[in-house]
Amino acid sequence: MAREQSAFITVEKPEQGIVVIVPSTDIDMSRSPELRTAIRQEMGGGVHKMIVDLEDVHYMDSSGLATLVEAMRNAGKSDTKLVICKMNQKVSAIFEIARLDSFFSIVDTRDEAVSL
């Protein structure tokens, strides 16, 4: 398993064509640019599935949502499937408040995300 580290975002490549983005901090206006950069860097180039694992994200604001909306749009353009997994209830509530819960593919576990 290839594994790359950055300050707050881990990028895992569990198998060919699948990339998992794992932020390890709350995502607000100060952190969302880093998430955006990581997603942009990994999108395309033979990646057919990108998974964003939010297990360690206990808080997200609208800048985080905007980053994921942008990622979803770019995924569509580059023929990549974007899946979000392991959201906690508070982060999930923010998706619902913004009525974006049905816009994304959201599953509970990493295994579900891989097999989706």
Partner 1 sequence: MHEGPQIELKLISDPMYLCGARELVGCIARRIGFDDMDCSKITLAVDEALSNIIRHGYNKSFDKPIWIGITPIKPSAESIGGIIITIDDEAKQVDPCTMKGRELEDVRPGGLGVHIIREVMDEVRYEKRAKVGMRMIMTKRAVRPEESPRLSDTGSGNRSDQEQGACKVTSVCKKSSKSLPR
Residues 101 and 94: their CA atoms lie apart, in Å, by: 9
Among residues 102 and 115, whose Cβ is nearest to partner 1? Answer: 102
Helix (H, G, I), strand (E, B) or coil at 85: strand
β 49-53/18-23 pair status:
parallel
Q: Is 41 in the site for partner 1 (CB under 8 A)?
A: no
Among residues 48 and 58, whose Cβ is nearest to partner 1? Answer: 58
Residue 53 Cβ, how far from partner 1 at the closest point, in Å? Answer: 21
Q: Which residues pair with 84 in a beta bridge?
A: 52, 106
Binding residue for partner 1 (CB under 8 A) from 55, 56, 61, 112? 61
Residues 106 and 9: their CA atoms lie apart, in Å, by: 19
Residue 69 Cβ, how far from partner 1 at the closest point, in Å? Answer: 5
Please, how many CA atoms are within 13 Å of residue 88, restricted to the half-sphere of its CB?
A: 8
Residue 72 Cβ, how far from partner 1 at the closest point, in Å? Answer: 9
Contacts to partner 1 by CB under 8 A: 26, 28-30, 59, 61-63, 65-67, 69-70, 73, 89-90, 92-94, 96-100, 103
